[in-house]
Amino acid sequence: MEPVQGESKRDCWTVTFGNAYNQEERVVCAGYDNGDIKLFDLKTMSLRWETNIKNGVCSLEFDRKDVNMNKLVATSLEGKFHVFDMRTQHPTKGFASVSEKAQKSTIWQVRHLPQNRDIFMTSGGAGSLHLWKYEYPAQRLKKDSEGAEMGVAGSVSLLQNVTLSTQPISSLDWSPDKKGLCVCGAFDQTVRVLIVTKLNKV
């Protein structure tokens, strides 16, 4: 998948699969150095949606890959992340989103908790981890003045944060089996295994 002839080629920094709720449906979402986010439909081999978050996209992840598209988190070079509600696509405005300035440094990675897809962790360039929770709005759907359906973004709240290193934490993953167990890698050449407690109370 590459730009059509005549279009400038940008560096692609991150990709993620999603919408794999049956044997045929698949999408790939790609983030680029100039802030572009492009959603490709693999079934029709076409560009389904695109937007720009005005900053290099470091990490993308759907809250779950094997369900109808629900939420997508995009992290950026300058400490901001965006949560897109992928359930309803407006013909011109695309997907509703909420953004949060998490920190001043790069957000290298985002990972959703496998046991609760409304909770996710971001890892930052200042050596910190931030745990977030997404809250859905009272209504996820509304209609514009012309009767077209459009999504409504929810809100994001910070549950906890911790600084583990003086160097960027560039990699992060959750255990699919043990709730709260996670591992991260940093530029200080250290792999850390962590346990996040009280996740059943949030």
154-164, pLDDT tens digit by residue?
999 999 999 99
Mean pLDDT of 27-45: 95
**Alpha carbon of 29 to those of 39, 51, 67, 140: distances in Å?**
4, 11, 15, 22
Region of residue 161 (left: phi > 0; alpha: psi -120 to 50; beta: else): beta
116: Cα separation from own chain's centroid: 15
Per DSSP, what are the bridge partners of residue 169?
186
Mean pLDDT of 99-122: 94
User: 8 Cβ partners below 8 Å, 6+ apart?
Assistant: none
Give the pairing type, strands 107-113 and 94-101: unpaired
